[in-house]
Amino acid sequence: MRMHHDGRATDEDLRLATAINDLIPTSAEIEALRTALRSPRDESDVLALYGITLFATSRCNLRCRYCYASAGSFSRDMPTELALAAVSAAAGYVRQQQRDEFVLEFHGGGEPTLRLLWASDIVRQAALIARPLKIVSQITTNGVLGPGPRKLLADTFDRIVLSCDGPPDIQDKQRPTLGGRGTSKAVECTIRYLLMREKQLPLRCTLTEDSAPRVEEILRYFADLGIQYVHLEPLTIAGAAVGNGLRPVPPDMVASSAVRALEAAASRGLCVSFSGVRLGNVSKTFCSAQGGHACITPDGKVVACFEAVDETHPEYDLFLLGEVSLERREFELIPGKVAQLKGRNADTIPECRTCFCRWHCAGGCEARAWRQTRQLLAPYPVGCAVTRAVTSAILDRVLSGKETCISSSRVTPAARAC
């Protein structure tokens, strides 16, 4: 380490030493990690829920060119009786985990704010059903709302995930309304209002072949709006993307865009995240589809993944866990399905065993890996390339003393699915 003439370390080297020290776990942390990673894999056929997601509706006011669910292609709303029965069933699982909080999310194959009054009432009733658990309410939305719904949205939900793809020309092209009009103006108004209300507001941004090269511009746009956290996800080919003839973003383009995003985000004070890039998290599984979360479709099916919105989805059968019993207010699960999904982890995927991202990525998105390989114990190839490139870039930045803000929290399917 370089020193001043009086023997003191330079400010630059002190910053570098601090950055490196942040990457080095304490002895207690190392021992805890060893214990966790050496413990037997949980392959039990039992859900270990922290919450539940309700697919409120299949209807949508947008026609995004890449929508994995082909939202709006048919109309199906979740009945109130089903939603409350699902909350009651899930609350029992959460209590068994001895948790204090119950995460209640609204998501699905359509736009949940089209049923905002209904969702608000479900949150209110869930607080009574799930006692003594505290309800943590979350919703994922496209942000195309008027003044009244914006207020109700902010009044009801603790956390709001908003999908936006960048500056107006990108947003309006990729995420138009049902009638083909632009959505950027309405989304900007929603963002400004929610930030004014001091709501947690992470953005989810889809990168396409056209928009990925403009990632620096996209992040500047978000920073100028006052956004602090952005999750970047490359386009995957499913649903509407197939019909619209879209192509997947080449892995090298995704990786280079992600690396450039780190620099751009640091310069604007943004935190960015990418699926699988989780240096602050050590886990054997990629997401909560391996038994930690359950999603309920409008017709009462229990599925493990946010993308398995109905029986037309390619991965529906893989993630179908069972159905909700309205009479008993319980989940009737298919024997062996939970254990099957738990069986996919960093210990069982052969390619993970020699990867330096093994305990952070754990094979990547199961839905996208299955879509691309049709194998349960296979990694997500595109995700692997991006994860390794971005993780390496983050380590290089930190070891060079450069500030880097990237989410280290576990990436749930809600953050990934649009």
**Euclidean distance between the first and the last CA atom of the chain, given in angstroms as a whole number:** 47
CA of residue 377 relative to chain centroid, distance: 21
Instruction: Specify if 21 maps to a domain.
Output: no
For 94, the domain range is: 51-343+404-416
Map tokens 């099957």 to a residue.
340
**Domain total in the chain:** 1
Instruction: Specify if 389 maps to a domain.
Output: no
Q: 175-216 pLDDT, tens per residue?
A: 999 999 999 999 999 999 999 999 989 999 999 999 999 999
Instruction: Specify if 42 maps to a domain.
Output: no
Q: 241-272 pLDDT, tens per residue?
A: 888 888 988 888 988 898 899 889 988 888 89
Distance CA 182, CA 21 (A): 47
Q: 284-324 pLDDT, tens per residue?
A: 888 888 778 899 999 999 999 988 888 888 888 999 999 99
Task: Indicate whether 76 pLDDT > 60.
Answer: yes
| pLDDT reported for residue 28 | 64
pLDDT band of 404, cuts 50, 70, 90: low
Instruction: Specify if 381 maps to a domain.
Output: no
Instruction: Specify if 363 maps to a domain.
Output: no
Q: Residues 142-155: what's their mean pLDDT?
A: 96
Task: Indicate whether 236 pLDDT > 80.
Answer: yes
Q: Residues 361-365: what's their mean pLDDT?
A: 87
Q: Which two tokens stand for residue 50?
A: 């922290």
pLDDT band of 2, cuts 50, 70, 90: very low
Map tokens 């399917």 to a residue.
413
| pLDDT reported for residue 33 | 58
* pTM for the model: 0.85
| pLDDT reported for residue 400 | 78
pLDDT band of 27, cuts 50, 70, 90: low
| pLDDT reported for residue 414 | 42
Instruction: Specify if 323 maps to a domain.
Output: yes
Give the CATH number of the domain where residue 327 resides. Answer: 3.20.20.70
Instruction: Specify if 143 maps to a domain.
Output: yes
Q: Residues 21-33: what's their mean pLDDT?
A: 56
Instruction: Specify if 29 maps to a domain.
Output: no
pLDDT band of 410, cuts 50, 70, 90: very low
Report which of 313, 295, 285, 236 is spatially closest to residue 78, judged by C-alpha positions.
Answer: 295
